[in-house]
Amino acid sequence: MRSFTPLLTVLLLLFFGGCVRENEQEDPIEKKIDALLDEMTLEEKVGQMTQIQLGIFYKDDMLDHQMLKEYVVDYGIGSILNAPNFHGMAQAVTVDEWNKLITQIQRYAMETRLKIPVLYGIDAIHGATYVRGATLFPHNIALAAARNRSLVKRCARATAHEVRATGIRWNFDPVLGVGKQPLWPRFEETFGEATYLVNQLGKKAVQGYEAEGLDRPGSVAACAKHYVGYSVPVSGKDRTPAVIPEHTLREVFLPPFRVAVKNGASTVMINSASINGIPVHADKRLITDILKGELGFQGLVVSDWEDIINLWKQHHVAHDNKEAVMMAVNAGIDMSMVPSDLSFYNDLIALVKEGKVKMSRIDDAVRRILRVKYRLRLFEDPFPEPEAVASFGRRVYQNVALEAARECMTLLKNDTLKGRPLLPLSLQSRVLLAGPAVNSRSALHGSWSYTWQGQVDSLYPKRVLTIRQAMEKMLGRDHVITVAPSRFATITPMMIREMKQKAAAADVIVLCLGEDSYAESVGNIDDLTLPYDQRMLAEAAANTGKPVVLVLTEGRPRIISDIVPLSDAILMAYRPGNRGAEAIAETLLGKNVPSGRLPFSYPRYTGNLIPYDAVVREEKYYDPQWPFGYGLSYTTFRFSDFSLSRDTVTVNDTLEVQVTVTNTGKREAKVAVDLFVKDYTASITPPMKRLRRFKKVQLKPGQTITMTFNLKKMDFSFVGNDGNRHWEPGRMAVIVEGMQKEFYLKTD
Ligand code: BGC
C-alpha cells in the first residue's frame, strides 16, 4: 500500500510556503500592501473586511447618496455587492447606469484618507445577470452536458467582458459544488455529479474569467464557491446540513477547489451550511488549515450572504453576533458579506480591542483583500474603463451562446415510427406546441437571469426568442399551432381539452414541459416528480394518437417515468439560455445534431437517487431512467479497436488507452466519449466506476478517428479513510462506451 502522508504534505508546504513568502516580499504589490497596512487604523482595516449590499441604500426606488457616502467614506467599507433595488428587488440596469453608479462609489472611496477603492462584486453566474441586454449562456448543468472545455472558457470570457464593462471586477462564480443531490434547487448551477467533469470545466471557467490577467479590461476576479460540500444537503433543501466522511470530502468535493486554486482563482466563497455538524463558516480546519494551508490559497475568502449572522441566528453555534464574528474571523474568513448593517464592523473592532481576534489575523485578511484590489488595477484606476465598456454586447457573445446551447442539447429518446426515427422532424411538419414552457423565457434561463429569480419577463431582451417564436421562425407561422399559457403556469383542464381538439390538424405534438425558473430556497421542492398537471397533459397528448415529442427545460431531473413510455422522443434542454429556443428548434428540425450527454444520472423513482459512482453493493439498485453519460444522436457511431498499452501498470507508468470511433451514419456530428476507471477491490469499498477522462470530436459521415487517453498516477488512486491518497495493488479496468478492459496495478 502506498500513501501520501499528511506529514509529507506539511513539509512540502512549509518548504514551498517559505519560498512563496520570500517571493511575496519581492513582489511590488506585496511591498505596497506592507506600506498600506502600516498606515491603516484598526477601523480602516475592519472596514475593508466589511461587504454591504447595495439594496440597503435604496429608499422608494431611489439611491440614498448620503447613506452610501456615509458607509463608504465614514466607515470605509471595502466591498459592495448586488444590483440596484427597485420594488424591493435587485434587477438588471443598463451598462450606462452601472457606470454611473460605480463611478459614484469610487469617487466616494477617493474621498477616504487612504483612497482605497471599493471592490464591487456580482453574481454573473451564467452571463452578466444584472445588466440589461447582457448575454446569458446555458447554466453549468447544460454546459456539462456539452462536454466541451473550450466552450466553457469562451462563455466565461464573454461574461468577464460584459461584467467588466459595467465597472465591476469581481464575479461570484464559478460554482464548484459536485451535483450529487438532484432535489437541491441549485443543481442547475453545478457541472453535474462527476468530480472530474467539475474539475475540468471549473478550471476552464476560472481561466476564462482570469486568464488574461486581472489587470486587463477583459477579466474579472473569479470566486470559487461554495467551499465546500454545499451541493449535497441530506434533505435536498437549500442550505441544510451535509454529512460527508473525510474520504468522500477529499475524493469528491475538495478536488474542484484544489484545481481552481491551482489555476489562480482569486477568491473563494464559503458554504452556508454545515458539514458533520460544524457550520463551514466556523470551521477553521476547512478554511485555514485545508484551504489556505494545504491548498495554498493566497486570495480572499468571503462569507456567503448573512452567514456570519447565521452562525448564531440559524446554526445556533454562537450565543450572539459578537461570538459569531469571532468564530468566523478566527476560522479564516477575510471578508463578511454582512450584508445589511454594521454589526460585523462594530463587533470585530471590539473583539480586536479585547484581544479575542488577533491583529495578525486582521492583517492577513486585509492583505488578501488588498492583494485582489491591487491585481485588479483598482488602485491605478478604480473607474469603469472605456476599453472595457466598449466590449459590451458584442455579436460574438451571442454566437457563443448559440453554439453552447446547441451543444448541450441531449437526446434521450427517439423511437422509430413508420420506419424512421421521429426526430428530426421534417421542415414541412405541422406542429402543435403545448405546455407551460412554450411561451416562457424564464424556463429557458433559470436562476440569476436579469433578476435573482429570473422571472421578470420584461427584462429579457427582445432578441431572446421563446420556443414558439423559434419554431415559427423555422417552420412558418401557419405550420405552428399553440396551446399554452402566456407564461409558465399550471395547465388547466380547459387547455387539455383545447389541445385534444387542435391535435387533429397537426402531424406531431411537441410538449414543452419542465420547471419555471427559481433560485436558492425559493426552488425547494418536496417531490422530484414532474407536477401532475404536466403529466396529465402528456397523457392527453399520447391519447390523441399523434406522435409526441417531449422537450424538457428544467434545472434538475424531474421524474417522468410515467410519461416516458407515452413519448416517442425526448429532448433534454436544461437551462439553455438566451439562444436556447433557437437551439431547441434547430435540434427538433434537424439543423443541429444533438451531442449532449447527461452529466448526472436521471432518476426513474423518487426513492432511488443512486449516483453513477455508487459502491458495488448498490450496483444492482442503480436503475436510473437514463444513466450518467446517456445521449443519442442523429447519426450512428461505431467504437472499435479498444486497447490498453499495457496489462500491468506501476504507479508511475502512463497507461495509454485507445479507441477508434467511426461515424457510420449520414450526418456530420460531434460525439463525446466518457472514460471511466474501475477498481475491483480496495480497502475502502470502491465505487462501480470513476469518470477519469472525456473528449469530444467532430466526425463527417464515414470518418474514423482514433482517440488516445493517457491515464496517470492519480487515475489509479483513491482516498482512504485516513484522508490520504492510496494506491493498492490489484485488478482494475478501463471502461469506454460499455467496453471494458482490465489491467493490473502493481505497487512495489
Ligand atoms: C448565494 C451566493 C451569492 C450571494 C450573493 C447568496 O445567497 O448563496 O451564491 O453569491 O448570495 O448574491
pLDDT in tens, 522-578: 999 999 999 999 999 999 999 999 999 999 999 999 999 999 999 999 999 999 999
Instruction: Count Cα atoms within 13 angstroms, Cβ side, for 216.
Output: 12
> In this structure, which residue's CA is closest to atom 11 in ligand 1?
305
What are the cell numbers at 633?
444522436
pTM equals 0.96
pLDDT of residue 24: 54
Q: Is the pLDDT of residue 452 over 90?
A: yes
Q: Is the pLDDT of residue 20 over 70?
A: no
What digits encode the pLDDT tens for the residues 228-264?
A: 999 999 999 999 999 999 999 999 999 999 999 999 9
pLDDT of residue 26: 79
Q: Is the pLDDT of residue 6 over 80?
A: no
> In this structure, which residue's CA is closest to atom 4 in ligand 1?
305
Q: Which fold has domain 409-621?
A: Rossmann fold (3.40.50)
Q: Strand pairing partners for 336?
A: 50
Share of the chain above pLDDT 90, in %: 96
Find out whether the beta carbon of 172 lies less than 6 Å from any atom of ligand 1.
Answer: yes
Q: Is the pLDDT of residue 333 over 90?
A: yes
Ligand 1 centroid vs 339 CA: distance in angstroms? 11
pLDDT of residue 47: 99
CA nearest 632: which of 377, 368, 413, 364? 413
Q: What is the average pLDDT value for the chain, to the nearest integer?
A: 96
User: Can you give the residue ranges of every domain in the chain?
Assistant: 1-31, 40-389, 409-621, 637-746
Ligand 1 centroid vs 304 CA: distance in angstroms? 6
At residue 266 the predicted structure's pLDDT band, cuts being 50, 70 and 90, is: very high
CB neighbours of 295 closer than 8 A, spacing ≥ 6? 257, 258, 261
Domain spanning 637-746 has what CATH number? 2.60.40.10
What digits encode the pLDDT tens for the residues 105-157?
A: 999 999 999 999 999 999 999 999 999 999 999 999 999 999 999 999 999 99
Give the separation between CA 352 and CA 148, rounded to whole angstroms: 49
CB neighbours of 35 closer than 8 A, spacing ≥ 6? none
CA distances from 597 to 407, 420, 630, 642 (A): 9, 23, 5, 21
Share of the chain above pLDDT 70, in %: 97
Mean pLDDT of 415-440: 98
| Sole residue written with cell 407515452 | 566
At residue 23 the predicted structure's pLDDT band, cuts being 50, 70 and 90, is: low
Find out whether the beta carbon of 305 lies less than 6 Å from any atom of ligand 1.
Answer: yes
At residue 211 the predicted structure's pLDDT band, cuts being 50, 70 and 90, is: confident
Q: Is-cis flag, bond preceding 6, omega within 30?
A: no
Find out whether the beta carbon of 306 lies less than 6 Å from any atom of ligand 1.
Answer: no
At residue 748 the predicted structure's pLDDT band, cuts being 50, 70 and 90, is: confident
What digits encode the pLDDT tens for the residues 589-645?
A: 999 999 999 999 999 999 999 999 999 999 999 999 999 999 999 999 999 999 999
Pocket-testing residue among 126, 172, 175, 223, ligand 1, by greatest number of atoms within 8 A of Cβ:
172
Ligand 1 centroid vs 544 CA: distance in angstroms? 46
Active site residue 478: no
Q: Is the pLDDT of residue 5 over 60?
A: no
The CATH number for 40-389, chosen from 3.10.105.10, 3.20.20.300, 3.40.309.10, 1.10.490.10, is 3.20.20.300
Active-site choice (304, 334, 347, 516):
304
Pocket-testing residue among 80, 163, 305, ligand 1, by greatest number of atoms within 8 A of Cβ:
305
What digits encode the pLDDT tens for the residues 47-70?
A: 999 999 999 999 999 999 999 999
Q: Is the pLDDT of residue 7 over 90?
A: no
